Amino acid sequence: MAEAILKDGNKISYEKGETGADVIGRISQGLLRNTLAVLVDGEPRDLSAPLPESGCSLLALTFEDEEGKKVYRHTAAHVMAQAVKRLYPAAKLTIGPAIENGFYYDFDVETPFTPEECEKIEAEMKKIIKEALPIERFELSRDEALKLMTEREEPYKVELIKELPEGETISFYKQGEYTDLCRGPHLGKTSDLKAVKITNVTGAYWRGDANNKMLQRVYGTAFPKQSELDAYITMIEEAKKRDHRKLGRELGLFAFRDEAPGFPFYLPKGMVLKNTLIDYWRSVHKKWGYVEISTPQIMKRTLWETSGHWDHYKENMYTTVIDGEDYAIKPMNCPGSILVYSLEPHSYRDLPLRYAELGHVHRHELSGALHGMFRVRCFTQDDAHILLAKEQIKDEVIRIASLFDEVYNLFGLPYKIELSTMPDDHIGTKEDWDAATGSLADAITAIGKTYTVNEGDGAFYGPKLDFHIKDCLGRTWQCGTIQLDFQLPGRFNLEYTGEDGEKHCPVMIHRVVFGSIERFTGVITEHFAGAFPTWLAPVQAVVLPISEKHTDYAEKVLETLTAAGIRAELDARNEKIGYRIRESQLQKIPYMLVVGDKEAADGTVAVRTRKGEDGGVLPVAEFAASLKKEIEDKN
């Protein structure tokens, strides 16, 4: 007999040869019906796999778990590959992983798949699901695996097998006539899949190398219920309408040009939006005790060698030579803050010292990774670097988390926190890392928040807390981060005089709340679908004279609004008033002020909102005061 340790710490005995399904079934038949695979000692396995004879930890994986979703969707990828092979036997298989929100499989075919062919593939997938084919795992030696894939004329699989170590046992999965090289795990039978859909097809180079052959990458997604799939498709359609790249052009916010790939152009209204975000950022940081600095964009190679970036991040840095010496354009702001700190001596009374910087940084991203404002090659990082004593860490992280909470609540963005721990490529001792990780965890617990652990994904210099915000469509975005650093201050020999009169090395906290102005702009553009809150809108009101004879009065209204600090425009084009109202609504302007004979005579404006609501007729001064208060209160 052996014992399995469950998630809640309880133990359950099992006999030799029993599987995860056997044990989960004894716990709860309802849980077994929802279990897709099991996590055995931290490794995902098939439900049908025998458990270790020596005992193990055991966790049921459902679709609610990320690992469970991967198992479900990777099985769907195999079903899609089987459908393709049935319909197009000459197609060559490559790889088909689960990805966020779905899966894909790359195929080598003579001609690209058409939308009509994708419909046929999806229909064949549904047939395979109805066939309820058992999904069976088997293992072969390296030579046997090569023989099998060679006989089946699958050259890409042969290439993958040849790269595996000599003597390694290689696993395959079989369902009906279809067999694929795969590590697994998978569902028990094809009918365990319930709702599938092919979502897109694109070209993709084998292994991402442009020197290799172009393949057909077919994307799909899968859910346990048709209603969940339908909701996801609806969300995708809504996301297309909210695409910040599309809205950025339509609303005159920002643009991208082939002459500068990955480098955004801010248009006039986009600059208003950016500066409004920055003004708010500055006010929040002043309130929370930060001082703003600005550091050079280009600094010597020796600085980046000391910081560790030259060794750990050089492939992402732009470099140049000045006066015969190597320099780098900064990809991060932290070394500049360190140099500022080192300009003068400090004592414990100065700490925590909070430097805030809207630093313009550059990073060399691969062209294929660029994506609108979400992934660019230059951006304004809303950084802060805090130098403090070790005993101040918990209180300071609590302060930072409270600042984050204030900011995200203003934009209506709920969030979850993820604690990332020590990666393989790190600097510093395990003891320092353990202390740093514990400090972050304690601080988050102290403010009543919860977190999940992301093993091995910390920065090379320390663990971090990532804040994943959720937009109105339920999508998550990693924006804020708090990174604890025991390493860089020591590398730069930073010190402060302690209360004991001795010299001590401070700790550094790296943190951003927006992540970058560019990325956050993209997120909130999609979150609000371009209909920004009034305080943030580039144009807050537009004055619309009914005809040319009302233009003089409209100009006086505009002057009143502008004098009150309201961002207003006049639209006196020779177009019908209905057309101009519609145009203003399409531009997402919060308020439209229509003026005609009666309004000019009474000193009023007829108010309409961008939602088409009638705001009534108000005296100009009263409307201006009300709008000014709405802007100041950031309602």
pLDDT attached to residue 424:
86
Are 37 and 74 a contacting pair, CB within 8 Å? no
DSSP bridge pairs for 416: 468
The label of the residue with tokens 């399995």 reads: 4
In Å, how far from its chain's centre is CA 444? 21
Amino acid (one-letter) located at 216: Q
- CA dist 518 and 264 (Å) reads 8
Are 241 and 529 a contacting pair, CB within 8 Å? yes
Q: In this structure, what token pair is assigned to residue 9?
A: 């710490």
- CA dist 554 and 486 (Å) reads 61
Amino acid (one-letter) located at 83: A
pLDDT score of 416 more than 90: yes
H runs (alpha helix) in 95-243: 115-130, 142-151, 155-162, 226-241
Q: Which residues are catalytic?
A: 334, 363, 381, 383, 385, 464, 510
Q: What would the pLDDT profile of 329-359 be if each residue is shown by its tens digit?
A: 999 999 999 999 999 999 999 999 999 999 9
Lowest average pLDDT, out of 7-16, 143-152, 268-277, 576-585, goes to 7-16
pLDDT score of 48 more than 90: yes
Q: What would the pLDDT profile of 513-539 be if each residue is shown by its tens digit?
A: 999 999 999 999 999 999 999 999 999
Which helix (H) or strand (E) segment holds residue 175: the answer is: strand 170-175
Q: How far is CA 189 from CA 86, 126, 128, 181, in A?
A: 18, 13, 10, 17
pLDDT attached to residue 433:
86
Q: What would the pLDDT profile of 153-194 be if each residue is shown by its tens digit?
A: 999 999 999 999 888 889 999 999 999 999 999 999 999 999
Structural domains of the chain sorted by starting position, each given as residue range(s) with its CATH number in brackets: 2-62 (3.10.20.30), 69-226 (3.30.980.10), 254-296+333-527 (3.30.930.10), 541-633 (3.40.50.800)
In Å, how far from its chain's centre is CA 81? 29
Q: Rg of the Cα trace of the chain? A: 30
pLDDT score of 314 more than 90: no
- CA dist 491 and 341 (Å) reads 14
The secondary structure of 299-325, three-state, reads: EEHHHHHHHCHHHHCHHHCEEEEECCE
pLDDT attached to residue 430:
87
Percent of the residues in the chain that have a pLDDT greater than 90, as a whole number = 85
DSSP bridge pairs for 223: 195
Which helix (H) or strand (E) segment holds residue 445: the answer is: helix 430-446
Cβ-in-10-Å burial (0-12, 13-18, 19+) of 282 comes to: middle
In what side-by-side order are the strands of the sheet with 604-609? Answer: 568-570, 541-545, 591-595, 604-609, 614-619
pLDDT attached to residue 53:
92
H runs (alpha helix) in 152-267: 155-162, 226-241, 244-250
Q: In this structure, what token pair is assigned to residue 258?
A: 């082939």
Looking only at the bridges linking them, the beta strands covering 476-485 and 318-322 are: unpaired
DSSP bridge pairs for 618: 605
Q: What would the pLDDT profile of 119-141 be if each residue is shown by its tens digit?
A: 999 999 999 999 999 999 999 99
Percent of the residues in the chain that have a pLDDT greater than 70, as a whole number = 100
Band of residue 65 on the pLDDT scale cut at 50, 70, 90: very high
Fill in the DSSP letter of residue 615.
E
Q: What is the pTM of this model?
A: 0.81
pLDDT attached to residue 473:
86
Q: How far is CA 51 from CA 13, 187, 249, in A?
A: 11, 17, 57
Which of 321, 302, 322, 304 lies closest to 313 in space, CA to CA? Answer: 304
Which of 255, 276, 252 lies closest to 265 in space, CA to CA? Answer: 255
- CA dist 110 and 93 (Å) reads 13
In Å, how far from its chain's centre is CA 374? 8
Where in 429-547 does DSSP place strands (E)? 451-454, 464-470, 476-485, 496-497, 503-504, 507-512, 541-545
Q: What would the pLDDT profile of 425-484 be if each residue is shown by its tens digit?
A: 887 788 888 888 998 998 888 888 899 999 898 887 789 999 999 998 888 898 999 999
Average pLDDT of every residue of the chain = 94
Which of 165, 521, 501 lies closest to 374 in space, CA to CA? Answer: 521
Amino acid (one-letter) located at 460: F
Task: Provide mean pLDDT across the span 79-104.
Answer: 96
